[in-house]
Amino acid sequence: MDQDPKLRILHALESQDTTVTFDDPLENEMILNMGPQHPATHGVLRLLIRLDGETIVSLVPDLGYLHRGYEKLAENMTFHEFIPHTDRLDYLSPLANNVAYVLAVEKLAGIEAPPRAQYIRVICCELARLTSHLVWLGTMAMDVGAVTVLLWGFREREKIQDIWDVLTGVRFTTSYTRIGGLAQDITPEAITALNDFLDRFPASLDECEKVLNKNRIFIDRCEGVGFLSKEDTINFGITGPILRAAGVDHDLRRDAPYLVYDKLEFNVPVYYDCDTLARFYVRMAEMRESVSILRQALQKLPSGPTNAANPKRVLPQKEKVYGKMEELIHDFMLVNFGINPPIGEVYHAIEASKGELGFYIVSHGEGYPWRLKIRSPSFSNLQALPAMLKGRMISDVVAVIGGLDPVMGEADK
């Protein structure tokens, strides 16, 4: 074969051919397949890395191992039926995805949820951010070497999952929000549990920081690794903590406020180093800000209904459906035929824990969306992986992926 041997290796790996041979094995650069099944790739991400010894010459990510066909599924079900599917997008923070989708549909249909529901949705979003960052902290520290932090992170996460159990009925994939409001109201039990958790959580964060912040090994593994300049970060369309670690002061909660974030006070942490260590500091600071936002939201929680008063669009409560005539008819029509929003298209994004999570919905006036596109932050963030790792060593791959924090459920849709 007259082909360039490197291309031959690449074709052989991609076509799973194990019979190819080479004349001079030491002359070739190695192509390493960091396969979809790997303890440190945060899900099913496949990386094809061309190595010269231990230095990375180039890197090609291969996605699609979790492509479940969300956008095609969305075209075949009503807006309400798609809510459980949104849970499984960024499966580390399911409540935030629910809120993002429902906000987009409400914008399209012109419904506004009552203030109590909006405050509870803010609580849900911030709790989701906390769980996502706790798993990030655990897995990134474990990948770099500090295995203890994984167990501490999961211990805290279990406490938040207990709160979700009381609030929504489910430990994990909640499907809590509904178009026009929420599935059920927050109970005093949940508020007490949340207050208890908020009192104890900062101490656990301090514990984790004590292990990692001044740790020589952690800093050496993360400082300067995964550098991507500010202009490149903006050009790639990267959002979220990575953008804030590159010195850009941009946060959708403050710049394009949704829900009641304009009534709450919070800081946006910005660091200027553009490397993995800066991303670590940004996320730790974000967790502390989330605690303060949660406290404010709990203090300001108003009383009132949790669902908008729009019977043609909002699903009625189950007890009334079994007892009263109008609610029964409305429930039947909404479940079978959908909410029928006006013809048009809308895009709404929230600041999820990974970046800007947006839904672009085109409606032709029927109960099903005509087109639903999910703007997933992990997909856009992963694009920058080859640029971040050019010329680095193979062991930096794990640290950089940890700093990027991709979730394949979102990136592969």
Partner 1 sequence: MELERTNDSFLTTQLDQIIGWARKNSLWPMPMGISCCAIEMMAFAGPRFDVARFGSEAFRFSPRQSDLMIVAGTVTYKMSHVVRKIYDQMPDPKWVIAMGACTSSGGMYRSYSVVQGIDLFLPVDVYVSGCPPRPDNLLKALMEIQKKIARGEKPGQSDKVYIEESAEHA
Partner 2 sequence: MKDLLLQKLREQFPSAVEVVSEFRDELTLIIRKADILPVCSFLQSNSDLSFDSIRDLCGADYHRPDDRFEVIYNIYSLKNNFRLRLKVRIDEKDLHVASVSGIWQGANWLERESYDMYGILFDGHPDLRRIYLPEEFEYYPLRKDFPLMGIPGSLPLPRK
Q: Which residues bind partner 1 (CB under 8 A)?
A: 16, 35-39, 43-44, 64-69, 72-73, 84-85, 87-88, 91-92, 135, 151, 154-155, 157-158, 161, 171-173, 408-409
Q: 229-238 in b/e burial notation, b at 16+ Cβ within 10 A?
A: eeeebeebbb
User: Would you say 65 or 236 has its CB closer to partner 1?
Assistant: 65
Q: Which of 135, 238, 242, 400 binds partner 2 (CB under 8 A)?
A: 238
User: Would you say 97 or 381 has its CB closer to partner 1?
Assistant: 97
383 binds partner 2 (CB under 8 A): yes
Torsion angle, alpha carbons of 137, 127, 284, 102, to 10 = 100
Residue 188 contact, options partner 2, partner 1, none, Cβ 5-8 Å cut-off depending on partner type:
none
- Provide φ and ψ at 93, rounded to 5°: -135, 70
Residues 82-141 touching partner 2, rule: CB under 8 A, are: 107-108, 110
266 binds partner 2 (CB under 8 A): no
Residue 256 contact, options partner 1, partner 2, none, Cβ 5-8 Å cut-off depending on partner type:
partner 2
Report in angstroms how near the CB of residue 16 gets to partner 2 at its nearest: 11
User: Would you say 77 or 291 has its CB closer to partner 2?
Assistant: 77
User: Would you say 140 or 382 has its CB closer to partner 2?
Assistant: 382
Q: If 0-12 CB within 10 Å is exposed, 13-18 middle and 19+ buried, where does residue 32 land?
A: middle
Show Cβ contacts of residue 353 under 8 Å, excluding neighbours closer than 6 positions: 90, 92, 93, 96, 128, 129, 132, 133, 136, 240
Q: Which of 12, 13, 191, 248 binds partner 2 (CB under 8 A)?
A: 248
Report in angstroms how near the CB of residue 32 gets to partner 1 at its nearest: 16
Show Cβ contacts of residue 159 under 8 Å, excluding neighbours closer than 6 positions: 197, 201
Span of 68-76, 168-176, 219-227, 322-330 interacting with partner 2 by CB under 8 A? 68-76
257 binds partner 2 (CB under 8 A): no
Phi-psi domain of 6 (left: phi exceeds 0; alpha: psi -120 through 50; beta: other):
alpha
Contact 162, 323 (CB under 8 A): no
Q: Kindly write down the DSSP assignment for every residue of 156-178, as one continuous string.
A: HHHHHHHHHHHHHS-SS----EE
- The secondary structure of residue 374, as a DSSP letter, is E
- Name the one residue in this structure whose structure tokens are 């202009």: 231
Residue 157 contact, options partner 1, partner 2, none, Cβ 5-8 Å cut-off depending on partner type:
partner 1
User: Would you say 154 or 337 has its CB closer to partner 1?
Assistant: 154
User: Would you say 135 or 287 has its CB closer to partner 1?
Assistant: 135
Report in angstroms how near the CB of residue 58 gets to partner 2 at its nearest: 12
Residues 158-197 touching partner 2, rule: CB under 8 A, are: none
Contact 223, 281 (CB under 8 A): no
Report in angstroms how near the CB of residue 413 gets to partner 2 at its nearest: 8
Q: Kindly write down the DSSP assignment for every residue of 279-346, as one continuous string.
A: HHHHHHHHHHHHHHHHHHHHHHPPPS-SB-S-TTTSPPPHHHHTT-HHHHHHHHHHHHH---PPSEEE
- Name the one residue in this structure whose structure tokens are 């994939």: 173
Ordered strands of the 371-375 beta sheet: 344-351, 356-363, 371-375
Residue 39 contact, options partner 1, partner 2, none, Cβ 5-8 Å cut-off depending on partner type:
partner 1
Residues at the interface with partner 2 (CB under 8 A): 14, 63-64, 67, 69, 71-73, 76, 107-108, 110, 232, 234-239, 248, 250, 255-256, 344-347, 349, 356, 358, 360, 362, 370-371, 373, 375, 379-380, 382-383, 412-413
